[in-house]
Every structure is written in C-alpha cells, then in structure tokens.
C-alpha cells in the first residue's frame, strides 16, 4: 500500500511533467507565431509590389514608388521584430519532449526575407 510520501512524490512528478509539457507547448506556439508574423510581412511586401503595379501609371511615378516602399519597409520591420520576439522567448524556454527550431534558424529565415524585400525595394526604384 502506498504511503502518503509516495503519493506526494507522485503528485510532484506529475506536476513537473505538466510543467514540462506546458513549456513544450509554448515553444511550439512560439514557432507558429513566428510563422504568422512572417506571413504578415510577406503580405505587406506583396501589397507594396501590388501597389506599385496598380499605380504605375500615376504621375509622378515616385509617388507610387514611395507608397510601395512604405509597405516594403513595414515588411522589413515585421521580419525583424518576428525574429527578435521569437528568439527572446526561445532563449527563456527549455525544451523537454519537443524539438525546437533553434535561434539561428529564426534569424536566418528573417534575414533572407529582409534581404529579399530590400532587393525588391531597390529594383522597384531602379525601374
């Protein structure tokens, strides 16, 4: 028959397991949130590109380019903030059963999107 100490120890172990699982869920939620921010940044870049395409006939042309550039800058800011927030939370969490993406991957993905959006901005102004 289990003693009260055994039951207390078992409850403590179960509480630790629940805490570990909650931390793993938070890590995975952080990755989903990062993906959502990246989609938002891509939508802003697409809006900027579409803005330029639709208003290309506007005179002066710099006005359409400036409007498109605002959305491209917003996209770059979103990409930067996404990786900063994701890395900040990832550094505070310890994974247990989940395999997290890793800080460097957040930064790499964001950097690639930032470089792509900046390149798009340069091409926009050269056309």
pLDDT in tens, 62-118: 888 999 999 999 999 999 999 999 988 888 777 766 776 777 889 999 999 999 999
Among 39, 104, 115, 31, smallest CA distance to 76 is for: 115
Question: Tokens in use for 111?
Answer: 């950097």
Output the pLDDT for position 17.
67
What distances in angstroms separate CA 57 from CA 51, 52, 54, 61, 65, one per listed residue? Answer: 11, 9, 8, 7, 11
Mean pLDDT over the full length of the chain? 86
Measured CA to CA, the distance from residue 64 to residue 3 in angstroms comes to 76
For residue 81, give the 3-state DSSP assignment.
helix
Q: How confident is the model at residue 57 (pLDDT cuts 50, 70, 90)?
A: confident
pTM score of the predicted model: 0.82
Output the pLDDT for position 80.
97
Question: At residue 38, does pLDDT exceed 90?
Answer: yes
Measured CA to CA, the distance from residue 118 to residue 78 in angstroms comes to 13
Q: What percent of the chain has pLDDT over 70?
A: 89
Pinpoint the alpha helices (H) of the chain.
Answer: 4-54, 61-92, 103-126
CA 127 to chain centre: 30
């Amino acid at each position: 028959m289990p003693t009260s100490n055994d039951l207390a120890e078992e409850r403590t172990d179960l509480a630790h397991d629940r805490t570990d699982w909650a931390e793993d869920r938070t890590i995975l939620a952080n990755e989903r949130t990062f993906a959502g921010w990246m989609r938002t940044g891509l939508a802003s870049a697409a809006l900027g590109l579409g803005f330029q395409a639709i208003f290309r006939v506007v005179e002066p042309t710099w006005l359409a380019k400036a409007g498109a550039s605002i959305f491209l800058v917003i996209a770059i800011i979103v990409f930067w903030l996404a990786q900063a927030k994701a890395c900040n939370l990832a550094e505070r969490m310890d994974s247990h059963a989940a395999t997290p993406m890793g800080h460097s991957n957040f930064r790499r993905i964001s950097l690639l999107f930032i470089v792509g959006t900046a390149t798009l901005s340069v091409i926009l102004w050269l056309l």
